[in-house]
């Protein structure tokens, strides 16, 4: 992989390679863009097939965080860390303390958080060496992000429902929920309380039965979820579920769920747009978790965080407006929203610096 060529093409600012022989730490910190503020993004620990694969994952995820944070209206840039190793067998205290020292050395350019393969305990170890970490067990932590993420999905789904049906009421709507893990189960609580009819599936049969018992949901096999006579399809498990095989099965008018990377390829976003399906872009509708974590940076206040998460409703609405304004699919409109916000701040900063230089030089 030609790292500098990739960084140039995707406009990356910095990639930091971290190693500590004593603890076995091998980590890559990717900082994509800090126009809006310091880069915020989690630390993922994974057993990668190669170092190149780990680098590519860090870069891809960091860029994604730039767009997620910008679209969410946060004054934060995008970054991500991957630690190469098995999260079940390779962890030790010294590893995360060493990693914390590397973060401290960036002097606030990057703030980390939990991600796949890392825990609150790991964040506590990092916190021993730096304050540039969120999701710790200390006072002021935002705690479990799942309920807040679910709430964001719920309000975003209501915005998409309004776009498709002219009203944001979910009462009487049939919603097919793929996956009923922590986030999706809480989402189902909101949907059930509003009077929606639920169809659920999951590889975990106990999770399915729990939803059936609690919400009167109808259970279907995993492969049957796409073809249900549902108003809304909520993908809340795997990515790439909007693809050549599933699209012909869709009968829904709305797709809105918590799963990441729902479009297998961009062309699938074009297809559902042409079909008239209202798609709430995944990285926008599932941004409640990062909004919640980001609130820690101001001294965590749950009521304030939830109020900010409610703003996902208006953000999704703005994306639909851009989609209609520019005649583009909503996944493209979401990127445009993020890019326009970054560009406005960059232009304002450039103008400020130019004015400051004029004052100093008298020109």
Q: What are the catalytic residues?
A: 80
Q: Which two tokens stand for residue 242?
A: 């909007």
| Sheet of strand 174-178: strand arrangement | 218-219, 197-201, 174-178, 232-235, 254-255, 278-279
In whole angstroms, how far apart are CA 207 and each of 29, 152, 154, 183, 262? 35, 21, 20, 12, 22
Nearest residue to 218 (alpha-carbon basis) of 230, 155, 236: 230
Beta bridge partners of 218: 199
Residue 66 — φ and ψ, nearest 5°?
A: -60, -45
CA-CA distance, 104 to 101, in Å (whole number)? Answer: 5
Give the SS3 label for residue 287: coil
CA-CA distance, 127 to 122, in Å (whole number)? Answer: 9
CA-CA distance, 211 to 179, in Å (whole number)? Answer: 10
Per DSSP (E only), the strands in the chain are 14-20, 25-33, 39-40, 43-46, 77-84, 110-111, 174-178, 197-201, 218-219, 232-235, 254-255, 278-279
CA-CA distance, 284 to 334, in Å (whole number)? Answer: 7
Residue 310 — φ and ψ, nearest 5°?
A: -60, -25
Q: Which two tokens stand for residue 114?
A: 């939990």
Residue showing tokens 């769920």: 257
CA-CA distance, 217 to 200, in Å (whole number)? Answer: 6
In order, the DSSP letters of 106-135 are: TTTSEEB---TT--HHHHHHHHTT-S-B-S
């Amino acid at each position: 992989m030609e790292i500098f060529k990739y960084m140039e093409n995707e406009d990356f600012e910095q990639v930091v390679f971290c190693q500590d022989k004593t603890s076995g730490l091998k980590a890559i910190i990717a900082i994509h863009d800090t126009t809006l503020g310091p880069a915020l993004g989690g630390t993922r620990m994974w057993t990668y097939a190669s170092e190149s694969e780990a680098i590519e994952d860090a870069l891809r995820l960091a860029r994604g965080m730039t767009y997620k944070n910008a679209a969410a209206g946060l004054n934060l840039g995008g970054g991500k860390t991957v630690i190469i190793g098995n999260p079940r067998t390779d962890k030790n205290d010294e590893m995360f303390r060493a990693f914390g020292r590397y973060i401290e050395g960036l002097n606030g350019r990057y703030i980390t958080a939990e991600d796949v393969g890392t825990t609150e305990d790991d964040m506590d170890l990092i916190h021993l060496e730096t304050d540039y970490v969120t999701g710790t067990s200390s006072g002021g932590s935002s705690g479990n992000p799942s309920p807040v993420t679910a709430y964001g999905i719920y309000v975003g789904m209501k915005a998409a429902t309004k776009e498709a049906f002219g009203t944001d009421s979910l009462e009487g709507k049939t919603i097919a929920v793929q996956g009923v893990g922590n986030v999706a189960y809480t989402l189902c609580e909101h949907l059930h309380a509003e009077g929606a009819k639920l169809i659920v599936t999951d590889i975990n049969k106990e999770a399915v039965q729990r939803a059936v018992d609690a919400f009167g949901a109808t259970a279907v096999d995993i492969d049957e979820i796409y073809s249900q006579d549902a108003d809304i399809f909520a993908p809340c498990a795997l990515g790439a579920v909007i693809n050549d095989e599933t699209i012909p099965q869709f009968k829904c008018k709305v797709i809105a769920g918590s799963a990441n990377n729902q479009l297998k390829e961009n062309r699938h976003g074009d297809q559902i747009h042409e079909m008239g399906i209202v798609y709430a872009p995944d990285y926008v509708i599932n941004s409640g978790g990062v909004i919640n974590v980001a609130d820690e940076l101001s001294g965590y206040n749950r009521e304030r965080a939830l109020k900010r998460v409610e703003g996902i409703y208006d953000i999704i609405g703005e994306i639909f407006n851009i989609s209609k304004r520019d005649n583009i699919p909503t996944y493209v409109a979401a990127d445009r929203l993020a890019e326009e916000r970054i560009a406005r701040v960059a232009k304002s900063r450039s103008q400020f610096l130019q004015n400051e230089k004029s004052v100093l030089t008298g020109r």
